[in-house]
Every structure is written in C-alpha cells, then in structure tokens.
Structure 1
Amino acid sequence: MQDNTRGALLMMAGMACFVCNDTCLKLIGTDMPLQQLLLLRGTLTIALMVALAASLGQLNFRMSGKDWTWANIRGLAEVGAAYFFLTALFNMPLANLTAVLQALPLAITLAGAVFLRERVGWRRWSAILIGFVGVMLIVQPGGDGFNIYSVYGLLAVGFVTLRDMCARPLSKDVPSMVVAIIGAVGVTAAAGLVLLWDTSVWQPVSLRNGILMTMAGFFLLGGYYFSVAVMRVGEVSFTSGFRYTGLIWALIIGWFIWGDWPDVVTWIGILIVVASGAFTFWRERAVKQVTADKVAG
C-alpha cells in the first residue's frame, strides 16, 4: 500500500473515531452534568493516552520553560474548546456542529496571517471570506434554528484555533502525545475543580451511560492515535483533504440516530465551507512548493 493511500485511510479512521466519540457523548447528553462527564471521560482518556504514549516511546515530559508555557496556554484553550463544543453538541444537530468545525483550516490560516504575520495571498483571503459566508449559512443568524448554542459552536472554533496556534511555537522534539495529555489533564482538572465547588451536582452513573462513556474514551484515544500516525506517512497536502470525511460520518450518524438532515441553505453552506477549505489546503501546498523550488534553485 502506498504511503498516501495509507495516510488517507488513517485520516478517515481518525475522523470516524472523533465523530463516534461525539456521538457517544451526545447520547449521554443532559443525563449527566457536563463537569461530571468531563471528569470521568477525562480520567479514562488520560490513562489510555499515557499507556499509548508509553507504548510509542513518547512519554517524555522534559521540556523547556518556553515549551511548558505554550503547552499550558494550549491546555487552557482546550478547556474553553471542550466546554463550548460539548454544550453546543448537546443542543445542536451533530452534522451542523461538525460542519461549523470544518471552518477550522480557514480560521487557522486567518489567525496565522493576523497574529504570526504569515503571508497570505489574495486567493486565500478570498477563500477565507467565502468560507465564513458558508459558516453563516450553516448557523443562519436570525433563522428559526439559530440560538445561543450556535454561538457556542462558533466560540468552540475560536478556542480550537487558539489551541492549535499555541502548538506552533512548541519545539519540534516535544512529543505530540505529551502535548495532548497536558490538554486532557487541563480539561479534567477544570471539571474536577467545578465539582469540588458544588458536589451536589454529582449524579449516579447508569450502566448505559457508563458503557457510552467508556466507548467515548476509546474512540477519543483512537482519534488521537490515528491523528499522530497520519502525520508519519503520506503527504500532508494529500491526506488533509480526507479530514472532511468526518462530516460524512456526522451526516450519516445524525440521520440514522436522531433523524436530523440539513436543509437546503445549510447544504449550500456546507459545500461552500468544504470547497473553501479544500482550496486553502491546495493553495498552501502550491505556495510551499514554489518557495521550495526557489530555495533549491
């Protein structure tokens, strides 16, 4: 099997795991307080991630002060992302929220241009603007389906963008799994502090919810593992395009379990966001190739 083919399959598997994790959490929903859900899932996930990192030889927390600073800021961003994403997940159709998250490549490109002074040409600026028009069509401000949780979905995109931007200054020798573990510890610790503040919100965990939470932990671990593995094979410019298969999984699962199906306007927004993101990937690849050719020449 060629590296690009293997990378594409790994990316699709990772996206399927992340969507299945979201599905398990959405099925639990309001049966359990959010902070309790985050604490229990986080504890299981951290244990699994530590075991995975140890098996990969990546369980190394020796980092410089600068790396620890950025890793901790990233962890705080992870806390905000988890809160807003899961709150939106419990109150929005799975496919709609997943579609909003497809704007992440555009948001990260925008943040890189604004805060890191990365060069972005007019073509990518156009793709960013068009992509965010697509996001607005998905969210539909002023429409019947628009509510505060639609805003939470957008805030989740903002916090995930901040999280990913904080990973850029990290040294290349800092293991990816260690950075992910630090983020998971931050989310779990924040949930634990909230529970200590008000222990009365703790609810008994039913067998159904316990099984769903365990499944969510393993799916999340699979998502992290495949995300790390895909970066080791194939070309990023090729495999990144298969990130959008997560939206396909969300559409199928959302329809099958909850009977949700996007309306025409939402579909138009989805297609615009996916097309804009795909163009951004392609254009970044083209720019890097031109730069590499100039250096080689």
Structure 2
Amino acid sequence: MPAYSHQPETGRSRLIAIGLMCGAVLCFSLLDTSAKWLTGSMDPLQIVFARYAGSMLLVSLLFNPWSRPGVLRSRKPWLQAVRSLLLLGSTALNFFALKYLQLAETVSIMFATPLVVALVAGPLLGEWPGPRRLAAIAVGFLGVLVITRPGLGGMHPAAILVVIGCGCYAFYSLSTRVLAAYDPPETTMVYSGVAGTVALLPLIPLFWSWPQGPLPWLAMLATGVFGAFGHWLLILAHRLAPATILAPFIYSQIVWMIALGFIVFDQLPDRWTFVGAAIVIASGLYLLYRERVRHVPEGSARLD
C-alpha cells in the first residue's frame, strides 16, 4: 500500500490538468472565432494588435515587477524576443487566413505543428526522429495535402499562410522548450505580450480604423482576454501533469472549431478537410505515443 499512497492524488491532479487543457483549447477556439468575425470589418493587423495589447494589459495585472519581482529579468532576452516575434508572425498569418478560410480548415492545418517540431528538432536540438516517427511525419504531411489540395482548386490560396504560420509556430514551440531551462513561464508569458504590442505599435497609423459600435470593441477585447487566459490555463495545466498526458487533448479543438464555425458563420468543412484532419491527428497521436515509449525506462511499470 505505501508504494501507491500518492497515486490517487496524482490521478486527481491529472484530471484537473486535463480540464485546464480543455479550457485553454476552448479559449483559443473563441479567440479565433472573434478574430474571424472581426476580419469582416477591420484590417487583420488591427485585430492582432488588439489581441496582444489586451493580453499584455491582463497579464501585467497578474505578473508585474511589484507582485513578481524579477519577472522581467530574462537569462536569454534575445531568444525571448525571437520567440515572441515567431508567435506574432504565426498569429498574424493565421488572422489573415481566417478572413478567407473556415475555422476548422485553419486549425486542421495547424495540427501539423507537432510534425514540424519532430522533424526540425533533430538538426536544432539533436532529437533525431527514428524511422517510425519519420513515417508518421510523412503521413501527417500527406494529411495536410489532403486538406489544402494544392493545384486542385480545393481551398483558397490563403491556406499557404496557415502553412507558413504552422512553421513559425513550430520554431516558437522549440524556442519555448529551450527557454524553459532558463526563464520561468511567467517571464516568457510577459515577453510574448510586450514584444507583440511594441512591434505593432509604430504601424498603427497604417491599419487602424475606429470600430463602429460597442460590439467590435468587445470582440477586440475578447481576443486579448481569450489569448491571455488560454495561455495561463496552459501554464497551470503543465504544472500538474506532463506534456505527454496533456498533448492529445489539444486535438479536441477541432470539435469546438467545427461547432463555432457552424453556429457563428453557418459553415461546415467539406469531407476532404475531415479526412485530412483525421490523418494529421492520427499522425500526431502516434508521435506522442512514440515519445512516451521512448521515455519509459525498460522494465518499469506504466501506471498511465
């Protein structure tokens, strides 16, 4: 019995972490829904600015030099800046694409991010994928081709923006992994909002238009709230459970995106998007499975 005394507490923590992860995914789905709705009346860069400025204000209430002394101090400030700009680029490309694509289409392509991470982690971090993982990556990219159907007129050319954004997000994820060894997550979160806001601030006169009525203002505020709150839930979730437990629940976002796309925009993805998304998700889940197998010591009991 003593050997299992902590198991119920571990199980409870993991259930809470999974709930937090699902909450984060819902926040990100609502963020993209708000952004897509706003693209009908304003420049996507204005929406990106609203997302980062709102997030920066909210995050500063939680993490600031007074409540968290030293939160702005980074051991890798240049890497923090590069990481933040990669996230900014991914967000901007995604918001531009949302003007023309369905919610489910963009998220299905973005699900390929773990595949890109697994592919480039070898030359960058020395984490070389084996033949099974390489096969899964190849199958996953085939799924992206099924979704986008390049040259067949199946999807708007804006899909290429999501593909590039997926690459940006993959390098953002890798840099986040590196920074975790040097800076606390609160510092990284603060840098994300500040860098995005500062980078776009000089460009405001080029794209700003005053929203007409209170609803666009509320939607702009919502992008910041959903973005900041979603990332905060992610931090809390990863404090309670390992990434290999939480990662599969990221794919639940496709359910929210399909539902919100239908409710808000009366849009449903075609069968090719469903087929391609299923291929990409299956490949991502297999990569997670291989990652867990790689880190389980030989002969050890697997309790999860």
TM-score (norm 1): 0.90
Describe the superposition over 1:92-122 as per-residue Cα deviations: whole angstroms up to 9, x where unpaired: 1000101111111111111102322213111
**Alignment pair present for 1:269 and 2:276:** yes
Distance 1:167 1:235 in 2: 15
Pairwise CA distance, 1:84: 0.8
Match in the other structure for 1:220: 227
Match in the other structure for 1:61: 72
Tell me, what secondary structure is at the counterpart of 2:240? coil
Shift of the 78–236 alpha-carbon distance from structure 1 to 2, 3 Å rule, reads closer
Q: Which runs of 4+ in 1 moved over 4 A?
A: 54-59
Match in the other structure for 2:28: 18
Distance 1:243 1:81 in 2: 17
Task: Identify the range of structure 1 (144-153 vs 17-26) with the bigger mean alpha-carbon deviation.
Answer: 144-153
Tell me, what secondary structure is at the counterpart of 1:146? coil
- The amino acid across from 1:222 in the alignment is F
Matches within 5 A, 1:157-196: 157-170=166-179, 172-196=181-205
8 Å contact kept, 2:74–2:187: no
Matches within 5 A, 1:93-242: 93-170=102-179, 172-196=181-205, 198=206, 201-206=207-212, 207-242=214-249
Distance 1:34 1:262 in 2: 22
Distance 1:258 1:30 in 2: 11
Match in the other structure for 2:38: 28
Distance 2:89 2:299 in 1: 37
Distance 2:13 2:110 in 1: 27
Match in the other structure for 1:258: 265
Pairwise CA distance, 1:56: 8.1
- The amino acid across from 1:47 in the alignment is L
Match in the other structure for 2:81: 72
Tell me, what secondary structure is at the counterpart of 1:36? helix
Match in the other structure for 1:39: 49
Task: Identify the range of structure 1 (87-96 vs 145-154) with the bigger mean alpha-carbon deviation.
Answer: 145-154
Distance 1:14 1:58 in 2: 27
- The amino acid across from 1:87 in the alignment is F
* Gaps in structure 2 of 5+ consecutive residues: 1-10
Distance 1:267 1:202 in 2: 36
Distance 2:69 2:270 in 1: 45
Pairwise CA distance, 1:58: 7.8
Distance 1:273 1:58 in 2: 42
- The amino acid across from 1:52 in the alignment is L
How high is the sequence identity, in percent, across the aligned residues?
24
